[in-house]
Amino acid sequence: MERVLPGTSTDEEDSLRHYTLVKQEVAAAVRATKQFFQEHGAQEEVERCQELVVQLAEDRFNLAVVGQFKRGKSTLMNAVLGSDLLPTGLLPLTSAITTLCYGSKERVVLRRKGWTLEQEVPMTELAEYITERGNPGNEKGLIEARIELPLPFLRRGLHFIDTPGIGSARQENTATTYAFLPQMAAVIFVTSVEAPLSEAEERFLLDIRGQVRQLFIVVNKIDLLGETEREEVLGYIQTHMEQLLGTGAIHLFPLSARDGLKAKLTHDDVGIQRSGLAYFEQALATFLAGAQGRTFLVSILDRALLLLASENPTPVTPRTNGESQQNIVELRRSMESLRNSLLIGTPLATVHRVVEPVAADPHVIEQAIAASQSSMQEAGRRQAHSRAGTCLICTTLGQVLFAFFAKWQYLLATNPAAQQAFAIEHGLCPVHTWQLEEMASPQGISEGYAPLLESLARELARLLESRVEDIAAHVEKLLASTGSCAACRLMRETVSVQVEQLLAHLATAEGREDYTSSAGLCLHHLQVALAHSEDNRIRAIESRAAAEFLLREQVRRLENLVDDLHSYTLKRDALRRGLLNQEESNAWRRALVLMVGERAARGGVLMADQRTV
């Protein structure tokens, strides 16, 4: 009963990949639902959504074994596992959940009331916690016993769960099983030929009807009856189940878990077949290999839709009713569409709504750039009179880039249109990629870069299929460059605006005075300014005057800077640091800025406010 694992065949790899893509769609829908409830202050619904997110993250498929006390649930699980692992006996299990899941080594981990940390105990002590004999009335406060086993059957997130018996003398046992009901993705319901379908069992089946996507009905202990009696009892259960559930033909799995376990332990293949266990295991294996993922995702969507079933969640923050209703409708429509595609058996490859680049809003990056323009204008006004020891334009660039990345990292993490626009432009250039990394969280980068990488994967796959001659040249077109990088584009626009404003300001006596008292320009931006000064937008005489003024000022600054550098080294060598003035102390940094520009503007660390250190 091993689930499909990646790497076994191309078809299985595709199946696993398609499942992953659909799961991402479901996760996006659940997170959107969570965000909706967060905006409404509906904390209980937020926590329920978070539980779904956790379950998706764990890829946890809860296959729960339920039934009345002494129907043989634990024996059936032992038979499926082929091991006398879970304790069985005349006394019921305690009111706690026992979960079998995959682990690299065999161990038992306990969650207990009032305990912050989990407790690991030897497998030999398991019965001391999960049975009524070892833990009467659950006096040890057990919440869950998790048994980790290195079994292929449990790989890929399958949690095989033993629940306390319903209808037992202890009401807390039934309450525990009912409380766990919302987490059950599929159920193995175990009854037996001894007094089948009690009132408690019927009530439980009615309660889970419509909540559980997959229901296996096992009729245990058929070894207690002869052939004639067996057919009579099975016929009664079949008819009664169909009337109770109202779902048409019900498929039963009659078996003897005790005989099946005994045959498993002695490697008796004939005995396994005769017990009826083999037929049940085959059906279970088929479900786990093919339908488990689909059922798991549908169960998640069912629970998310159930949270949205109320048109009036419990908000504590005001919100426009029209907007709220529209959000609910859109969320429901999206999830129901995905759910229906899964239910009708649409191939997983087609369920995933891959958004081709043409569907994205091409202006979303421009909107983020536009949001930085006010920062650029304000920074320009402040720097016109700045006396800080750094390039006027570099400082403005640093502040504008900070504003851009602060806005863009949020959009990239939350806005699908922004993510697709980002994919269209193949991301950012290397320098600005790492500046984005400074601002963004790992989760935000994961959200934003996934569509980009998916787009690149599709492009490379098409390239592989086309069998073009110059593969390297085609791959080069997929790389982000300074020409396509949104941050580079913002820098070019900012520099152009700032240089034009500076040159216009230098045409006045006030402007020249401001520039003289400022830190001036680095050599790079001086060259840009000189190039702009030759533009026809300024008259030739003013152009020449501006260029000569800038050059004279740069010579003066260089000479003064050289003097400050020499003074710094001399006073340091003389152990007279107390004699250093501010210009001498930061001369070394001003020299670097003058030569290559400010750190943030040239690809270094971003700071909200660039100041001389």
Distance, CA of 249 to CA of 265 (rounded, Å): 34
Cβ distance 153 to 83 under 8 Å? no
Of 356, 352, 350, 490, the C-alpha closest to 423 is: 356
Numbered ranges of CATH 1.20.120 in the chain: 1-58+292-349
pLDDT(304) > 70: yes
- pLDDT for the residue 419: 83
Of the two residues 175 and 25, the one the predictor is more confident about is 25
Residue partners of 454: CB distance under 8 A and separation at least 6: 354, 423
Query: Residue 252: helix, strand or coil by DSSP?
Result: strand
pLDDT(611) > 60: no
pLDDT(270) > 90: yes
Q: What is the pLDDT of residues 571-584, one digit of tens each?
A: 777 776 566 667 77
Cβ distance 455 to 372 under 8 Å? no
Mean pLDDT of the chain: 78
Q: How far is CA 415 from CA 345, 423, 481, 608, in A?
A: 30, 13, 23, 24
| b/e 72-106 (16+ beta carbons within 10 angstroms → b) | bbbbbbbbbbbeebbbbeeebbbbbbbbbbbeeee
pTM: 0.51
Q: Directed axis angle between helix 523-533 and helix 486-506, to 10°?
A: 70
Q: What is the pLDDT of residues 35-86, one digit of tens each?
A: 888 888 888 889 889 888 887 877 778 888 998 888 899 999 999 999 888 8
- pLDDT for the residue 498: 87
Q: What is the pLDDT of residues 483-533, one digit of tens each?
A: 888 888 888 888 888 888 888 888 888 888 888 888 888 888 888 888 887
Distance, CA of 290 to CA of 532 (rounded, Å): 66
Question: Which band of pLDDT confidence, cut at 50, 70 and 90, is reported for residue 421?
Answer: confident
Cβ distance 248 to 209 under 8 Å? no
Question: Which range is most confident: 113-117, 260-264, 307-311, 395-399?
Answer: 260-264
- pLDDT for the residue 356: 35
Q: What is the pLDDT of residues 99-132, one digit of tens each?
A: 998 887 899 999 998 898 899 999 999 988 988 8
Beta-bridge partners for 216: 188
pLDDT(221) > 90: yes
CATH classification for the domain delimited by 61-106+151-275, as one of 3.30.2270.10, 3.30.460.10, 3.20.20.330, 3.40.50.300: 3.40.50.300
Per residue, what are the HEC states of 256-291? Answer: CHHHHHHHHHCCCHHHHHHHCHHHHHHHHHHHHHHH
Cβ distance 74 to 93 under 8 Å? yes
Q: Where in 56-185 does DSSP place strands (E)?
A: 61-67, 97-102, 107-112, 119-121, 142-149, 158-162
| b/e 604-613 (16+ beta carbons within 10 angstroms → b) | bebbeebebe
- pLDDT for the residue 612: 36
pLDDT(222) > 90: yes
Numbered ranges of CATH 3.40.50.300 in the chain: 61-106+151-275
Q: What share of the chain is helix, strand, coil (3-state, %, to 5)?
A: 60, 10, 30
Question: Which band of pLDDT confidence, cut at 50, 70 and 90, is reported for residue 269?
Answer: very high
> What is the pLDDT averaged over residues 536-564?
77
CATH classification for the domain delimited by 1-58+292-349, as one of 1.20.1730, 1.10.10, 1.20.1260, 1.20.120: 1.20.120
